[in-house]
Structure 1
Amino acid sequence: MKIKHAINLHKAFTFLVILGLMVVYDNFTTGAWVYLALHGTYGFIWLFKDRIYPDKQWEQEISFGMGMTTFILLGLYWVAPFILISREIEPAPPLVAAAVAINLFGVFVHYSSDAQKYYTLKYRPGLITEGFFARCRNTNYLGEVLIYLSFALLVQHWLPFVILGFFFSLVFVPNMLKKDKSLSRYREFEDYKADSGLFLPKLVGTKTQETKKGAIAS
């Protein structure tokens, strides 16, 4: 099996898991519905993305045992809706508005930057230094963190933040460093690295962005 099979299975089940929690705990409050809409829809969009412009890093072949381990670890992301729904947490309207805004921005930069990377590399392999990647080398990961941050904010509990930190430290950061190592084979990489941030956008570069061309390879 491929690693994406475990990831896609988790994304597909997320909506059903959250809805099931709402039924089990008889919690159909606004907070629960908002969480279902945000996290459940995120999973469905992921499946569409994988169908339209898949990320080749998730095409890696793995054993069935590793696939099950991946699925179980991703299940940690279901802790947030469990806490919110089982404890009947009702986030205040301003917090809901902030979470929705952060989520929308995260979805935009995550999926749009992935689309730019996929289609650029499909027709012109090389180093991407423009668009979503002009000032940040991992805009897609930044967007994903913002998405899960919005979920944690709705829950108002420390555990979802710890889980997000766990995935950031053990999955996102190693993947970002691995990508940097791969990109270092391009002679333009050092200049690009000086003008961009690993995770957060670098607002001030050492040269103008108009001189940059290419795309980020994974």
Structure 2
Amino acid sequence: MKQKHFIDSHKGITGLAVLAMMAWHGAWDQAAAWLYLALHGSYGLFWILKSRLFGDRSWEAPCGLGYGLVIWAGLSLYWIAPWLLMSRAIEPAAWLLALCVGLYALGVFLHFSADMQKHLHMKYRPGKLLNDGLWARSRNPNYLGELLIYGSFVTLPLHWAPPLILLLFFSVVWLPNMRRKDRSLARYPEFAEWKARSGLLFPRLLPRRGRIRG
């Protein structure tokens, strides 16, 4: 089996897990619960489509059952957000609901568009540095999109635990991956110039001052 099999299956079943929580807590008349289902449930479906059409090669690595269960357990931490939302019958203010939808929409655009651009770049321009389009000012626009997506999920419950879990994932998984990728891409002659005009995660609007270093 591959890592993607465990990741895809977990993301695909998330909508059903949220529906089960709604049934358990009798949250059928809770607007925020339905919104959470629409956001996180649709994201799971989008992820599976992406995996089949232009999946990330890094998730093709072989994976044993033990490590696969670790992946499942880690991703299941994100289910704490809907549980807190429904168990506490939280109904966020209308402006906050709108903010979460906006964050989700922008995140979906960045995440999936950036991954599609990377997929096409690797297919038609292999061996070239990807430093244009969505990647011109941010070296990780796909991670930025994912951060916004999950940011919308963890905001809805109005509880400190889900944002802390997201921060944990960012610090332990995402940030090391971004740093590792920077070190790998430093082999390209044009990387130093790209690094000077781009941010690691958030887009850099102004180039870094001083001499460009590799």
State the TM bucket, normalised to the shorter chain.
over 0.9
| TM-score normalised over the length of structure 2 | 0.94
The letter for the 1-side match of 2:19 is L
Partner of 1:16: 16
- For structure 2, the 5+ residue unaligned runs are 210-214
Partner of 1:62: 63
1:156-210, Cα deviation, whole Å (9 max, x unpaired): 1100000000100011001101111111111111111111111111111269xxx
The letter for the 2-side match of 1:8 is D
Find the aligned partners of 2:133 and 2:157 in 1 and give their Cα distance: 33
Task: State whether structure 2 residue 27 is matched by structure 1 residue 27.
Answer: yes
Find the aligned partners of 1:173 and 1:152 in 2 and give their Cα distance: 19
Partner of 2:83: 82
Give the 4+ runs in structure 1 shifted more than 2 A: none
Partner of 1:114: 115
Task: State whether structure 2 residue 113 is matched by structure 1 residue 123.
Answer: no
Find the aligned partners of 2:163 and 2:208 in 1 and give their Cα distance: 34
Partner of 1:156: 158
Partner of 1:92: 93
Partner of 1:72: 73
Partner of 2:49: 48
Q: CA deviation at 1:102?
A: 0.6
Q: 1:178 aligns with which of 174, 177, 180?
A: 180
1:155 alignment partner, SS class: coil
- For structure 1, the 5+ residue unaligned runs are 208-218
1:35 alignment partner, SS class: helix
Moved more, 178-187 or 100-109: 178-187
Q: CA deviation at 1:153?
A: 1.3
Find the aligned partners of 2:115 and 2:102 in 1 and give their Cα distance: 20
Partner of 2:194: 192
1:120-148, Cα deviation, whole Å (9 max, x unpaired): 11110210111000000000000000011
Find the aligned partners of 1:4 and 1:60 in 2 and give their Cα distance: 8
Find the aligned partners of 1:48 and 1:182 in 2 and give their Cα distance: 28
1:88-142, Cα deviation, whole Å (9 max, x unpaired): 1111111100100011000100000000000111110210111000000000000
The letter for the 2-side match of 1:95 is L
Find the aligned partners of 2:145 and 2:135 in 1 and give their Cα distance: 12
Find the aligned partners of 1:185 and 1:197 in 2 and give their Cα distance: 18
Find the aligned partners of 1:40 and 1:55 in 2 and give their Cα distance: 20
Number of residues paired by the alignment?
Answer: 207
Find the aligned partners of 2:58 and 2:179 in 1 and give their Cα distance: 14
Find the aligned partners of 2:208 and 2:41 in 1 and give their Cα distance: 41
Partner of 2:212: none
The letter for the 1-side match of 2:152 is S
| TM-score normalised over the length of structure 1 | 0.93
Partner of 1:145: 147
Find the aligned partners of 2:147 and 2:89 in 1 and give their Cα distance: 25
Find the aligned partners of 1:183 and 1:60 in 2 and give their Cα distance: 20
